[in-house]
Amino acid sequence: MPLTVFPPFLIERGVSGSATVSFKVKADGYVEEAKVESATEPAFGGSALGTIGRMVFKPATKNGVPVPVTGKVTFPFTYE
């Protein structure tokens, strides 16, 4: 999985949070229609979108044929 970038200015402020992204995985495994469902900080949402856009999944199949599916992922951003 690609690394998610923690926005540097939020590190400087000591801010933690999360972002939830919904998306569609096409039959070829690439992501489309990604959107931020929620984010504790807008920059976390942007970072999560960037990460999901770089991901390639093993396609889901139905009767042995690749099919599109939807997904949702929550990315935690924890500063310690």
Give percent of the chain above pLDDT 90.
89
What range defines the domain where residue 56 resides? Answer: 8-77
Residue 66 lies in a domain: yes
Name, in order, each residue with C-beta under 8 angstroms of 20's C-beta and a sequence gap of 6 or more: 36, 37, 38, 39, 48, 72, 73, 74, 75
Number of domains in the chain: 1
Is residue 2 in some structural domain? no
Q: How confident is the model at residue 4 (pLDDT cuts 50, 70, 90)?
A: confident
pLDDT at site 69? 97
Q: Say if 29 falls within a structural domain.
A: yes
**Is the residue at 38 inside a domain?**
yes
Here the CATH number for the domain that contains residue 49 is 3.30.2420.10
In a domain, 73, yes or no: yes
Are 39 and 17 contacting, i.e. CB atoms less than 8 angstroms apart?
yes
Asked if residue 1 is part of any domain, the answer here is no
Tokens found for residue 72: 């949702």
The residues with which 76 forms a beta bridge, in sequence order, are 18
Q: How far apart are CA 14 and CA 11, in angstroms?
A: 5
